[in-house]
Amino acid sequence: MPGQYRALQGFKDILPGEQPYWRFVENTVTAVADLYAYHRIDTPTLEETAVYRRTSGEGSDVVEKEMYSFDDRADKEGSRANLTMRPEGTAGVVRAYLEHGLYRLPQPVKLYYLSVPMFRREKPQAGRYREHHQFGCEALGVDDPAIDAEMIGLLYQVYTQLGLEDILLHLNSIGDRNCRPQYIEILKEYYRPLLNDCCQDCKTRFIKNPLRLLDCKEPQDQAKIAAAPKIAAYLCEPCREHFAAVQRLLAAYNVPWTLNPLLVRGLDYYTRTVFEFTSGIDKTALGGGGRYDGLAELLGGQPTPGIGFGAGVERIILELKRQNFAPPVEERPTAFVVYLGKAFELKDAAVQITAQLRRAGIKTDMSYGERSPKAQMKQANASGAAYAVIIGEAELAEDSITIKDLQAEGLDTEKKQVQVKRSALVSYLSCL
Q: Which residues bind ligand AMP (CB under 6 A)?
A: 88, 120, 122, 127-129, 132, 134, 266, 285-288, 310-312, 314-315
Q: Which is nearer to ligand AMP, 294 or 312 (CB)?
A: 312
Residue 174 CB, nearest distance to ligand AMP (Å)? 14
Q: Is 106 exposed, middle or buried (0-12, 13-18, 19+ CB in 10 A)?
A: exposed
Contacts of 235 by beta carbon, 8 Å cutoff, 6+ apart:
173, 175, 179, 243
- 3-state SS class at 71: strand
DSSP per residue, 105-167: SSSPEEEEEEEEEEE-----BTTB-SEEEEEEEEEES---HHHHHHHHHHHHHHHHHTT--SE
Residue type, 163: G
Q: Which is nearer to ligand AMP, 134 or 402 (CB)?
A: 134
**Helices and strands counted in the chain (H then E):** 16, 16
Give the helix ranges, DSSP H, for 18-119. 19-35, 49-56, 61, 90-99
Q: Which is nearer to ligand AMP, 48 or 122 (CB)?
A: 122
- CB-based closest residue to ligand AMP: 312
Q: Which is nearer to ligand AMP, 49 or 364 (CB)?
A: 49
Residue 89 CB, nearest distance to ligand AMP (Å)? 8
| Strand order, beta sheet including 39-40 | 39-40, 109-119, 131-140, 306-312, 284-291, 271-279, 167-173, 257-259
CA-CA-CA-CA dihedral for 214, 216, 217, 221, to nearest 10:
-80
Residue 292 CB, nearest distance to ligand AMP (Å)? 12
Q: Which is nearer to ligand AMP, 128 or 347 (CB)?
A: 128
Q: Which is nearer to ligand AMP, 184 or 311 (CB)?
A: 311
- 3-state SS class at 390: strand
Residue 131 CB, nearest distance to ligand AMP (Å)? 8
Residue 387 CB, nearest distance to ligand AMP (Å)? 42
Residue 245 CB, nearest distance to ligand AMP (Å)? 24
Residue 86 CB, nearest distance to ligand AMP (Å)? 11
Which of 97, 80, 110, 67 has the alpha carbon at shortest distance from 299? Answer: 97
Q: Which is nearer to ligand AMP, 270 or 339 (CB)?
A: 270
Q: What is the largest CA-CA distance in the chain?
A: 95
Residue 220 CB, nearest distance to ligand AMP (Å)? 24
Which of 370, 368, 366 has the alpha carbon at shortest distance from 342? Answer: 370
Burial profile 211-247: b = 16 or more Cβ within 10 angstroms, e = fewer: bbbbbbeeeebeebbeebeebbebbbeebbebbeebb
Residue 118 CB, nearest distance to ligand AMP (Å)? 7
Q: Which is nearer to ligand AMP, 93 or 391 (CB)?
A: 93
Q: Which is nearer to ligand AMP, 186 or 285 (CB)?
A: 285
